[in-house]
Structure 1
Amino acid sequence: MKVGTTWGTNIKAFIVDYGPKIVGAILVYIIGQWIIRRLVTLIGKGISSGKFDVSLTKFLLSLVKVTFQLVLFLSIAGILGVNIMGFSAILAGAAVGIGAALNGSLGNLAGGVMMMVFKPFKVGDIIEAQGQVGVVQELGIFNTVILTPENKTVILPNGALSTGVIVNYNTAGHLRVDINMAIANDQDVDKARQVAIEAMKKHEKVLSTPAPEFAVSSVSDFMTKITIRPYTTQSDYWDVYFGVTELVKKAFDANGITGPTPTRVVYNK
């Protein structure tokens, strides 16, 4: 009987001491989550109505949500009687350890912040970085997502992205499409230029201003490398790239402009 009485007394004391705190913590959690959702929604609408791009909006909302969740967590800990100062010290120590273990992740976070500040690109831009070319789909806290012409989703870590070379094809408002080709050395370059430019003008998505360009990029023993450069808009980049390549190839064939033929010299001993 004494054991049962002791257990009953302990449970009763626990309920008296911690019951209200637990109930209060649960209520605060439920109400807090509702408030956070409302605040994030309102802040999101406020940011969206301003002059912020999609990348910055998503990034700021992520930071706001994490901050609110941390405040709610500390509030609940305080209601339950947890020593916040001591708990903060534990969190700080844990942060150091986690930071050492997640050095790359912190670097990606810092890279994300840097790109939000300096804005080398935005969602929808065509960029070339880390050996990849594609349209930016999302700029997150830790990584950037791009979609390649092959319809592949590539995730680039922000740390490497922020410290590497980034080519943004959208900066000037229109895009120059560089297409490398080659003709045989005995071909008339002026004729090739005229045929190529006329072929580029036939593509409906090639801009008239700036005008399409033709350049000789290099000459070797058996071929002359050329670069044709039509201009277009961001959304039509790949259509122009593949379409113009086909048009110029067909135009060269129709006008008797031949490509290089590799030669092999055989010595008889």
Structure 2
Amino acid sequence: MNFDIIKAQIWTLATLYGGKIVLALLAFIIGRFIVGKISSMLSNVMEKRKVDRDVQPFLSSLIVVLLNVMLLLSIAGIIGIETSSFVAVLGAAGLAVGLALQGSLANFAGGVLILIFKPYRVGDLINAQGFTGTVEGVQIFNTILVTPDNKTIILPNGSLSTSPITNISGKGKIRVDMVFAAGSQNGVDKIRASVQKAIDACPTALKDVQHDILVTKLTENAIFFDVRVWTPSVTYWETYYNVHEGISRQFAIDGVQAPKPAELSIAMKQ
């Protein structure tokens, strides 16, 4: 083995690539430092803008990965490695993964948008995709709803982010709309007074707002009322059933008579 030849080859390689390797190492060290700084700045910006804490790690990780890929491609270019082939391979791989996981990626993007813009929060009562329920959890791919009858509904975030959502409890208080009927022989004033007593006795009805007791239909045998009661969002169903029971009891106490079943059926069809 001729050591002089080996030494000459090593020297030649060192002369050709030594400077590039040193420059690549410096670029790597400086680049990693810059990526760390950008990641830290991004975290601070998201914290100041009050971006949801569940979203922050995902966004930070995504940006850091992209920056590191760009850094590695730059280092490969400094050394002299042809990067166009790497870019083509990465592009093809990204396209394949994107096509295979397009549904999951749509749900991921939808979850990020929901967590950032907060059209609803955990605990809100919403109506979406034909389901009504309380939001139990907002995950990165799905939103978990619990219906009033305690069923768990899992909705994909992709469709939620692009379709109408009714946030029933978003304002903190909600109006419970109900319809009642009583026999016309009782008179409007007597019926309204009885309904008002039932509302006043409802523990979940708000005391500092005006509730509505409106006559909506008059027939020969029945008077129909729209009763609108304001309540905290979390007690919607409690108020709904409480007022129904309260009015039934109050009608019995005040002697408010109901329309005859046959007459009521005819009146409701008119």
The TM tier, using the shorter chain, reads 0.5 to 0.7
CA contact (8 A) 1:184 1:258 kept: yes
Match of 1:257 in 2: 257
Match of 1:125 in 2: 124
Alignment RMSD: 4.2
- Report the CA distance between 1:72 and its aligned residue: 8.7
CA contact (8 A) 1:184 1:261 kept: no
Alignment of 1:83-232 (within 5 A): 89-183=88-182, 188-217=187-216, 225-232=224-231
Match of 1:59 in 2: 55
Query: How has the CA–CA distance of structure 1 residues 64 and 205 changed in structure 2, closer, same or farther, with 3 Å as cutoff?
Result: same
- The AA in structure 2 aligned to 1:59 is V
- The AA in structure 1 aligned to 2:258 is T
CA contact (8 A) 2:55 2:116 kept: no
1:130-180: CA deviation from partner (whole Å, max 9, x where unpaired): 222222222222222222222222222223223332222334332222234
CA contact (8 A) 1:59 1:140 kept: no
Query: How has the CA–CA distance of structure 1 residues 89 and 182 changed in structure 2, closer, same or farther, with 3 Å as cutoff?
Result: farther
- The AA in structure 2 aligned to 1:214 is I
Inter-partner Cα distance in structure 2 for 1:213 and 1:104: 47
- Report the CA distance between 1:221 and its aligned residue: 9.4
Query: How has the CA–CA distance of structure 1 residues 97 and 212 changed in structure 2, closer, same or farther, with 3 Å as cutoff?
Result: same
CA contact (8 A) 1:185 1:260 kept: no
List runs of 5+ in structure 1 lacking aligned partners: 1-38
1:89-122: CA deviation from partner (whole Å, max 9, x where unpaired): 4443233234334443333334334434543222
Report the secondary structure of 1:112's partner residue: helix
Inter-partner Cα distance in structure 2 for 1:225 and 1:69: 64
Query: How has the CA–CA distance of structure 1 residues 99 and 188 changed in structure 2, closer, same or farther, with 3 Å as cutoff?
Result: farther
- Report the CA distance between 1:229 and its aligned residue: 1.9
CA contact (8 A) 2:169 2:234 kept: no
- The AA in structure 2 aligned to 1:253 is A
- The AA in structure 2 aligned to 1:128 is N
List runs of 5+ in structure 2 lacking aligned partners: 1-38, 76-81
Alignment of 1:34-49 (within 5 A): 47=47
Query: How has the CA–CA distance of structure 1 residues 93 and 240 changed in structure 2, closer, same or farther, with 3 Å as cutoff?
Result: same
Report the secondary structure of 1:133's partner residue: strand
Report the secondary structure of 1:57's partner residue: coil
- Report the CA distance between 1:228 and its aligned residue: 2.0
TM-score, normalised by the number of residues in structure 2: 0.61
Larger Rg: 2
TM-score, normalised by the number of residues in structure 1: 0.61
1:48-88: CA deviation from partner (whole Å, max 9, x where unpaired): xx6748xx222333444566678899999x9xxxx997566
CA contact (8 A) 2:174 2:233 kept: yes
Identity of aligned residues (%): 32
- The AA in structure 2 aligned to 1:243 is N
Query: How has the CA–CA distance of structure 1 residues 113 and 195 changed in structure 2, closer, same or farther, with 3 Å as cutoff?
Result: same
- Report the CA distance between 1:235 and its aligned residue: 2.9
Report the secondary structure of 1:211's partner residue: coil
